Structure 1
Amino acid sequence: MKGISHLTFIVRDLDRMATFLCEGLGAREVYDSAHRNFSLSREKFFVLGDTWLAAMEGEPPAERSYQHVAFAVSEPDLSRYRDRLEALGVDIRPPRERVEGEGLSLYFYDFDNHLFELHTGTLEQRLARYADGR
C-alpha cells in the first residue's frame, strides 16, 4: 500500500464545486471530461497540495454527518482560508471541543453535504498529547 490515490466527491454542480475547491481552498483544476465521459458521469479533477481530488456529477449525500476529509494547513493560514470560504457562502461549523496541543481546526460543509476540515496539527502531536492524558 502506498497511500491514498485520490478522493472523489459526488456533487450536483461541477462548476460550483470547482469554485469551492479553487477559490475557497486554492486547488488547481486539471481536467474536465465535458461531453466525453470516461467514467460514470461528467467529472473534473483537481490538485490540492499533492492530493488528487475528483468531483463527479450525481446525487450527493442526502444528509450531513461527521464523516469528513481533513487537509493540513499552517496555523497562520487558517484565518485566510476562513475568509475565503465565508466569501463563498460556505457553512462554517463551530469547532469541536479540543484539548490543548492537538491543533486547531476549521470545519465546513461544501454545497453538497460533504464535511471538510482544515487542521493545523499532526498525528504525532495528537498521539503525544493523548498519551499525556491530561
Structure 2
Amino acid sequence: MEGISHVTFVVRDLDRMATFLCEGLGAEEVYDSLGRNFSTSREKFFVLGGVWIAAMEGEPLGERSYRHLAFKVSAQALPEFEQRLRALGVEIKPPRARVEGEGASLYFYDFDNHLFELHTGSLEERLARYRLAC
C-alpha cells in the first residue's frame, strides 16, 4: 500500500464544483474530459494539497451525513478559507464540541451534500490530547 490514489465526488454541476474547489479551496483544475468520456460520465480532475480529486457528473448524495474529507490547514489560514467559502454561498456548519488541544475545524457542505472539513491539528496532537484525558 502506498497511500490514497484519489477521491471521487459525484456532482450535478461540474463547473459549480470547479468553482467550489478552485475559488473556495485553492485547488488547481488539471483535466476536463469535455465530452471525451473515458469513464462513466464527464469528469474533471483537480489537485488540492497534493491530493488528486475527481469530480464526475451524476446524481449526487440524496442526504447529508457526517462522512467527510478533511484537509490540513494552518490556524492562520482558517479564517481566510471561511471568508472565501461564505462568499461562494457555501453552507458552513456550526463547530462541534472539542477538547482543548485537538485543533480547530471548519465544516462545510459543497452544493451536492458532500461534507468537507478544514482542520488545524494533526493525528499525533489529537492522540496526545486524548491520552491526557484518559
TM-score, normalized by length of structure 2? 0.99
Secondary structure class of the residue paired with 1:45:
strand
Q: Which residue of 2 aligns with 1:101?
A: 101
Instruction: Figure out how many residues of one structure are paired with residues of the other and give that number.
Output: 134
How do 1:39-58 and structure 2 match up within 5 A?
39-58=39-58
The CA RMSD over aligned residues, in Å, is 0.6
How do 1:63-82 and structure 2 match up within 5 A?
63-82=63-82
Report deviation, 1:59. Answer: 0.5
Sequence identity percentage: 75
Q: What is the identity, as a one-letter code, of the residue corresponding to 2:120?
A: T
Secondary structure class of the residue paired with 2:77:
helix
Q: Which residue of 2 aligns with 1:25?
A: 25
Report deviation, 1:49. Answer: 1.4
Q: Which residue of 2 aligns with 1:84?
A: 84
Instruction: Indicate whether 1:124 and 2:120 are aligned.
Output: no
| Runs of 4+ with >4 A deviation | none
Could you tell me how far apart the structure 2 residues matched to 1:95 and 1:54 are? 27
Could you tell me how far apart the structure 2 residues matched to 1:49 and 1:109 are? 18
Q: Which residue of 2 aligns with 1:38?
A: 38
Could you tell me how far apart the structure 2 residues matched to 1:133 and 1:105 are? 20
Secondary structure class of the residue paired with 1:29:
strand
Q: What is the identity, as a one-letter code, of the residue corresponding to 2:89?
A: G
Q: Which residue of 2 aligns with 1:11?
A: 11
Q: What is the identity, as a one-letter code, of the residue corresponding to 2:27?
A: A
Could you tell me how far apart the structure 2 residues matched to 1:95 and 1:5 are? 29
Could you tell me how far apart the structure 2 residues matched to 1:74 and 1:85 are? 16
Could you tell me how far apart the structure 2 residues matched to 1:60 and 1:130 are? 35
TM-score, normalized by length of structure 1? 0.99
Could you tell me how far apart the structure 2 residues matched to 1:50 and 1:35 are? 26
